[in-house]
Structure 1
């Protein structure tokens, strides 16, 4: 009598302790801070929805690289966004949004600002509060990561990572994810860019926009080419961080959200079969 062949259960790699308590705490602190920083930052941007290069700006200048607003047309008011001299109709999204009978004329709609109504003072308070928490968390992360080796092991790219980058990029493009004990070359390069380029840039450009900091550190204005240039860089870096966040969430969902979330909640990460176990790992 023939019997169906037994199907072997899928192999599972060992659980490894991948994320320290400091990495997990600062990760979720940044997620919270960046949420409030983004939405309060858009509130601040709405007070003057234009970006410039250099020291000067105002109604008598025509040096804006980005301008979001509303204009009157024969068909009625329309939202308009101008980028490097190219103008686009963005009615319903940017410049003018809300119901047709009672539109709101702000660069970004209230649904994506904190507060949801025009209140620059509150937006600035929220922005500065979470900005300093963000800086403190970054300092804690750098100190802890230097001490426990996370910075050297998982963030700083090595020559072998540079050599393995093209293949890793191709694997990610094909959604072939390798769950290893340490970060892949593409992950290392991405996190290195965030921690050593984007985070410092958004902090320093934010400080450059403060008159108090300009008085204490006047060299900031020289480094960034003026307060208005710093504001533009600040906005661009914010856009890049939002793009990184979107890609990051997409990769988490594609690579296995349960495993990825467990890593950032408990520290334990399920690696691919064949990953070498070490003392302290779980089967």
Structure 2
């Protein structure tokens, strides 16, 4: 296809890539995950340690992560212990704030909602946005199944699996191809988030609820107890934060105006040479 002057097209057509259901739920998740992360850290600060197993307490030494403050000859210091290795994290984890007003807590107040110690408010907000998140996830799954978004753009095909290596190399070289469909790496990433990480963080969150344990006692067996579920919940949160950082980085590198337009209006500018189809815009 050529332009009226006979030259190759300088840009591809605008294609309708994101449905209204995908766009609305995407931004609902952005808000929910923001509040879930910061209120979750508020809840974590009530006991900044993670364990594996059914039990925890002073008589047990099964913590895989522990943030605390200790007294040293130089004064109080913040320490973080991960799998038996201890690190000085003064000013960030275990002890933060100023020398005049130190805060002895796992994560600094700047990373929690509320910014001060208020476990009750943190729990109320966490549960509220948690259920909004689950409702949006259910709506997205239902709409995506009906309109084919799941089959077309999320579940990797055989061709996607064989093409993942080349796509990884292209991304590492910052060579982005703006196609109608998601790339193999995008499909694999979104499949992992929607079918592994999101279900895990929801189910482990439910496992920490005594009420849900009474209704669904099998959750404790699946995740090896409430303490192990809490550790998995925290680990999945870290993976989601890493995904978010990489996701935003890719949006910036691939062209933020084009990427944001597709998640606001649904229209996405494809690469030059993309064949036009009915309904595309110039």
TM range (shorter): over 0.9
Which position in structure 1 is the counterpart of 2:185? 186
- Structure 1's unaligned 5+ residue stretches are 1-7
Q: Give the match's secondary structure for 1:67.
A: strand
Which position in structure 1 is the counterpart of 2:165? 166
CA contact (8 A) 2:9 2:273 kept: no
Q: Give the match's secondary structure for 1:47.
A: coil
Which position in structure 2 is the counterpart of 1:157? 156
Which position in structure 1 is the counterpart of 2:78? 79
TM-superposed CA distance for 1:151, in Å, is 0.4
Which position in structure 1 is the counterpart of 2:10? 11
What is the TM-score of this pair, normalised by structure 2?
Answer: 0.97
Q: Give the match's secondary structure for 1:203.
A: helix
C-alpha distance in structure 2 between counterparts of 1:130 and 1:238, whole Å: 15
TM-superposed CA distance for 1:98, in Å, is 1.0
Which position in structure 2 is the counterpart of 1:225? 224
Answering whether residue 102 of structure 2 is matched by residue 119 of structure 1, we say: no
CA contact (8 A) 2:9 2:272 kept: no
TM-superposed CA distance for 1:100, in Å, is 1.3
Q: Which is worse superposed, 22-31 or 98-107?
A: 98-107
Q: Give the match's secondary structure for 1:88.
A: strand
Number of matched pairs: 277
CA contact (8 A) 2:204 2:232 kept: yes
Which position in structure 2 is the counterpart of 1:278? 277
Deviations 1:64-105 (A, max 9, x none): 000001000000000000000000000011111111111111
What is the TM-score of this pair, normalised by structure 1?
Answer: 0.97
Which position in structure 2 is the counterpart of 1:239? 238
TM-superposed CA distance for 1:158, in Å, is 0.2
Which position in structure 1 is the counterpart of 2:19? 20
Which position in structure 2 is the counterpart of 1:42? 41
Deviations 1:87-139 (A, max 9, x none): 00000111111111111111000001000000000000000000000000000
**Where in structure 1 do 4 or more consecutive aligned residues deviate above 3 Å?**
none
Which aligned pairs between 1:82-93 and structure 2 lie closer than 5 A?
82-93=81-92
C-alpha distance in structure 1 between counterparts of 2:215 and 2:176, whole Å: 48
